[in-house]
Amino acid sequence: MLDLTPREYSKRSALTVNPAKTCQPVGAMYAALGIHKCLPHSHGSQGCCAYHRKFLTRNFRDPVMASTSSFTEGASVFGGGTNLKTAIKNVFSIYNPDIIAIHTTCLSETIGDDIPAFVATAQVPEGKLVIHANTPSYQGSHVTGFSNMVKAMVKYLAANSKTPNEKINILPGFVNPGDMREIKRIMKAFGQEYIMLPDTSGVLDAPMTGKYEMYPKGGTTVDEIIDSGNSMATVALGSFASSEAAYELEKKCKVPGKVLKTPIGIKATDDLLMAISKLTGKPIPAELEEERGQVVDIMVDCHYHYHGKKVAIFGDPDLVIALTEFTLSLGMIPKYVLTGTPGDAFEREVKFMLEEAGIDGKVKALGDLFALHQWIKQEPVDLIMGTTYGKYIARAEDIPFARIGFPILDRSVHSYLPIVGYKGAMRIIEMISNTLLDRQDRDAADEDLELIL
């Protein structure tokens, strides 16, 4: 497995090998699915749309709908205006969504298609909406695409009508439907009304009823997005995925925004709870405090399963930053921390955390898994945490592996179960502990196989 990867670290400036990120449109498509009765539309050649639908479907094991402008050579040369106008007409008359959320591809970006100009001359039925985000694949990553689409929702729709709604906007970031449900549960425990944007729960974890619904019950409604301009505050979770939209809400609608970490682990969840409490004047709900106590109890009880163990963490920046903080709080040693998404802020933030903990670790933004593998070859770790693609390295180096992040293509149920909040913290500890213990059992000699651990 990956036999051709040399131990000696190779400096590269042009060749990416085994990437730890993908392109903007897939993130934009995911975000758009979080609007109720929205059909995401990919403006470019049809392969992009097929790839993105495939990836999201594989990750969530649920239908992912999106249309495409189906460029051929002609559109690539003469511009995609005709294709987009035809597409808008067909989408509304055949699939009848409330809103179309267009994202561009590297093809339509390179030829410089002016989406708003095309939309302005398209036939959009009364009461229906079209929004768009520019998502060139040659900038940023799928996280950037997610962020751009959420920002576009605010830019096009949010409005301050001077009628405060006493709600809090929650921008959950690029997390699973299960995570969004968990954050909503937390808000409910506070008794606080909120608008979650986007919200893929109920869309990408829709129940089986024997009847296919093209637009399942879930998703943020257009009215809610409009109303987000009247909220008392915005809590943006994960700066990479959510801060742009929060700034836009502040700029456009004067809704003050607060950017927090993705609430993974004790501290980040504490921060979220305190922020909600301070913003609303409502006390921390007893049931959440109880859960927190359970997590701490588990942490103390189980610490010897993982304390001092070296871990390599990779994936999307918001998730990796929070996960690094959490593993540090568990007494683990995040030896290598890597994201494929570019961002100096990522390196600064993680390096600071490691330095504070006195850990000599390697940190990289815009990195790839080939680099991570070479680091591991030089000095191994006890555990790898990251997306499905880590399985090659895990096997090559025979290292226990816990799947976390996007995408996870080879396991199921993960998108239903939260990793955020205290409940999520419990699950992550379970994942870490049991992965390491399974390994200990596997490696134990017969006489060392213990019934009690």
Partner 1 sequence: MKSKIDKVIEQYPASVFKNRKEHVLLRNADKPEPQTITANTRTIPGIITNRGCCYAGCKGVVLGPLRDALIITHGPIGCGYYTWGTRRNKGKTKGDEQNYLNYCFSTDLQEGDIVFGGEKKLRKAITEAVEIFQPKTVMICSTCPVGLIGDDINAVANWASKEYGIKVLAFSCEGYKGVSQSGGHHIANNGLIKHIIGTGDKVVGKYSLNILGEYNIGGDGWELERILKKIGYEIVSMMTGDGTVEDLKSAHKADLNVIQCHRSINYIGEMLNTKYGTDWIKVNFIGVKSTIKSLRDIAKYFDDADLTARTEAVIAEELSDISEKMDQYKRLCQGKTAALFVGGSRAHHYQHLLRDLGIETILAGYEFAHRDDYEGREVLPTIKEDGDSKNIESIEVKPDPEHYKITLSKERYEKLKDEISLNYYAGMMKDMANGSIVIDDLNHYETEELLKILKPDLFCSGIKDKYISHKAGIFSKQLHSYDYSGPYAGFRGAVNFARDITMGLTTPSWKFVTPPWKTEPMIEGSYVGR
Distance from C-alpha of 236 to C-alpha of 410, rounded to nearest angstrom:
30
Distance from C-alpha of 316 to C-alpha of 308, rounded to nearest angstrom:
24
- Can you tell me which of 29, 30, 103, 105 binds partner 1, judged by CB under 8 A? 105
Contacts of partner 1 in 198-257 (CB under 8 A)? 206, 208-214
Determine, following the binding rule CB under 8 A, whether residue 377 of this chain makes contact with partner 1.
Answer: no
Provide the b/e sequence for 356-375 (b: ≥16 CB within 10 Å): ebebebbbbbbbbbbbbbbb
Stretch that binds partner 1, among 58-66, 146-154, 219-227, 301-309 (CB under 8 A): 58-66
Say which DSSP state 219 is in: S
Smallest distance, partner 1 to C-beta of residue 409, A: 8
Between 55 and 240, name the residue whose CB sits nearer to partner 1: 55
- Can you tell me which of 46, 277, 434, 440 binds partner 1, judged by CB under 8 A? 46
Q: Where do runs of H (alpha helix) occur along 206-265?
A: 222-227, 239-253
Strands, E assignment, 188-305:
194-196, 233-237, 257-260
Stretch that binds partner 1, among 65-73, 113-121, 343-351, 414-422 (CB under 8 A): 65-73
- Any bridge partners for residue 333, and if so which? 310
Between 143 and 268, name the residue whose CB sits nearer to partner 1: 143
Residue position matching structure tokens 């993982």: 306
Determine, following the binding rule CB under 8 A, whether residue 107 of this chain makes contact with partner 1.
Answer: yes
The pairing of strands 99-104 and 129-133 is parallel
Smallest distance, partner 1 to C-beta of residue 158, A: 27
Determine, following the binding rule CB under 8 A, whether residue 64 of this chain makes contact with partner 1.
Answer: yes
Contacts of partner 1 in 258-317 (CB under 8 A)? none
Q: Is 104 helix (H, G, I), strand (E, B) or coil?
A: strand
Distance from C-alpha of 193 to C-alpha of 232, rounded to nearest angstrom:
11
Smallest distance, partner 1 to C-beta of residue 438, A: 22
Determine, following the binding rule CB under 8 A, whether residue 91 of this chain makes contact with partner 1.
Answer: yes
- Can you tell me which of 2, 259, 284, 345 binds partner 1, judged by CB under 8 A? 2
Q: 168: part of which helix (H) or strand (E)? A: strand 168-171
Residue position matching structure tokens 């070859």: 377
Task: Show the site string, 127-156: x = touches partner 1 by CB under 8 A, - = not.
Answer: ---------xxxx-x---------------
Smallest distance, partner 1 to C-beta of residue 49, A: 8
Residue position matching structure tokens 């080939």: 370
